[in-house]
């Protein structure tokens, strides 16, 4: 039996990780052209509009609104969907704060739907279970490049007349039944944060097929100004407050160049993720992510779970052994699920108050508890996550596979 590196053996990962440049001459050329316009304001320049045009055509959508971040994109979608004080919005418990900030800034109440422990995604069943007469919308988080079962979710949404906002921050070029996610719901939201598949440093995009949704979202992203009716900017005809989430021309220029890269990036990540799954799917107690046959993941990261009884080792010991083998890993998805944030437990989203939870427009009594989301808790306690990068080589993936198989074989031999 080969000795594990954590006990003094040789490491499985023996070569440097593949690397590459994310930005190049294309971005520099677009930035140069943006500066030469003598304006960086999105409505007077060309780069933000060109980026939106290119992205909506790629996705087969009718309209695209650019924003200052992915978090802003979700807030814009929520605002355009009419989410307001006293409403409930369903969201995943395993996600970035960006999925929830807009809900709270609209003085609405986040309600968490449980996750499938094999796909890590909320389901139509878990969503329907938490719908109330206060539910206005659901933010469907396509986690880690995998996707929700959108036909089933849209059926539930239509049944209860609730808006669907797809959080695709981690799911560029993710396909459900041959169609890109972000095009099923009322709005599809994307991030250009530096840690996503493509980057403009920050920035976001909102897709929609409905003309009214587009105009409402475009205004909501720009202080509720109607740029198509110039009088509206100055005549005081603003019906309700909205934030300033405008994208500038420099961000749009980089985003425009990056969109040309996204198909290759996601295709490469899919290839590498599938290679990794194929190499470890037979290991006892190693539960690879379930990508349903009609879906295609773009693997923003790779996460598998450990069934400790079948694997003969704890999740933490398995993870420690992989790190020693030269494979950096994370445990779960953060340290805890979103409902364990202090401001949920203490009802303190706004300093010095209990708003929006005690709003007179709400009157509900939402409960935040681990018991409500057993699937999410199981993922949190049993998952190991890896970075997947388009610059990884086949050898990188093969050495990852070798490390996982080595650790698995060692602990199987000790059972």
* Residue 47: C-alpha distances to residues 41, 54, 92, 229 (Å): 10, 10, 34, 21
Give SS3 for 400.
helix
- Is residue 64 within a helix (H) or strand (E), and if so which, with residue range? strand 63-67
Q: How far apart are CA 195 and CA 193, in angstroms?
A: 5
Nearest CA to 339 out of 148, 97, 81 is that of 97
Q: How far apart are CA 343 and CA 348, in angstroms?
A: 5
DSSP classification of residue 122: B
DSSP per position, 328-340: --EESSSSS-GGG
Q: What percent of the chain has pLDDT over 70?
A: 98
Segment 45-80, tens digit of pLDDT: 999 999 999 999 999 999 999 999 999 999 999 999
Does the pLDDT at position 232 exceed 90?
no
Q: How far apart are CA 375 and CA 118, in angstroms?
A: 9
Residues whose CB is less than 8 angstroms from the CB of residue 21 and which lie 6 or more positions away in sequence, other chains included = none
Segment 130-139, tens digit of pLDDT: 999 999 999 9
pLDDT for the residue 239? 85
Does the pLDDT at position 236 exceed 70?
no
Give SS3 for 187.
strand
- First-to-last alpha carbon distance for the chain, in angstroms, is 14
Segment 76-108, tens digit of pLDDT: 999 999 999 999 999 999 999 999 999 999 999
Q: What percent of the chain has pLDDT over 90?
A: 94
- Contact in structure between 381 and 305 (CB atoms under 8 Å): no
- Contact in structure between 383 and 318 (CB atoms under 8 Å): no
- Is residue 305 within a helix (H) or strand (E), and if so which, with residue range? strand 301-306
DSSP classification of residue 49: H
Q: How far apart are CA 156 and CA 113, in angstroms?
A: 13
Nearest CA to 72 out of 113, 39, 105, 111 is that of 105
Give SS3 for 276.
helix
Does the pLDDT at position 234 exceed 90?
no
Segment 341-365, tens digit of pLDDT: 999 999 999 999 999 999 999 998 8
Does the pLDDT at position 235 exceed 90?
no
- Contact in structure between 88 and 352 (CB atoms under 8 Å): no
């Amino acid at each position: 039996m080969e000795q594990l590196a954590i006990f003094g053996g040789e490491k499985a990962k023996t070569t440097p990780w593949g690397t590459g440049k994310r930005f190049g001459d294309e971005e520099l050329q677009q930035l140069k052209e943006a500066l030469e316009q003598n304006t960086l304001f999105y409505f007077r320049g060309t780069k933000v509009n060109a980026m939106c045009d290119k992205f909506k055509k790629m996705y087969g959508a009718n309209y695209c609104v650019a924003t200052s971040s992915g978090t802003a994109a979700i807030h814009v979608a929520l605002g355009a969907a009419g989410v307001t004080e006293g409403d409930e919005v369903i969201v995943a418990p395993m996600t970035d704060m960006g999925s929830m900030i807009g809900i709270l800034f609209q003085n609405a109440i986040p309600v968490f739907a449980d996750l499938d422990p094999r796909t890590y995604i909320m389901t139509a069943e878990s969503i329907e279970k938490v719908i109330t007469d206060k539910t206005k919308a659901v933010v469907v988080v396509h986690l880690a490049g995998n996707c929700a079962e959108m036909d089933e979710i849209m059926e539930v949404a239509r049944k209860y007349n609730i808006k669907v906002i797809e959080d695709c921050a981690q799911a560029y070029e993710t396909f459900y039944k041959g169609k890109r996610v972000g095009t099923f719901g009322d709005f599809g939201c994307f991030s250009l944060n530096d840690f996503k598949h493509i980057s403009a440093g920050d920035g976001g995009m909102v897709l929609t097929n409905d003309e009214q949704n587009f105009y409402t979202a475009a205004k909501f992203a720009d202080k509720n100004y109607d740029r198509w009716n110039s009088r509206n900017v100055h005549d005081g005809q603003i019906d309700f407050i909205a934030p300033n989430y405008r994208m500038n021309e420099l961000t749009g220029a980089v985003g425009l160049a990056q969109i040309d890269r996204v198909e290759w990036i996601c295709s490469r990540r899919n290839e590498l993720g599938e290679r990794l799954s194929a190499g470890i799917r037979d290991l006892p107690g190693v539960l690879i992510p379930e990508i349903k046959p009609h879906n295609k993941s773009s693997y923003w990261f790779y996460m598998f779970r450990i069934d400790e009884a079948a694997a003969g080792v704890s999740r933490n010991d398995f993870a420690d052994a992989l790190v020693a083998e030269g494979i950096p890993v994370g445990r779960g998805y953060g340290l805890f699920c979103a409902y364990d944030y202090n401001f949920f437990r203490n009802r303190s989203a706004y300093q010095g108050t209990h708003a929006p939870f005690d709003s007179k427009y709400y009157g509900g009594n939402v409960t935040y508890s681990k018991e409500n989301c057993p699937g999410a808790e199981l993922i949190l306690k049993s998952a190991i996550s890896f970075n997947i990068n388009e610059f990884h080589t086949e050898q990188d993936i093969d050495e990852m596979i070798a490390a996982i198989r080595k650790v698995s074989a060692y602990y199987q031999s000790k059972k």
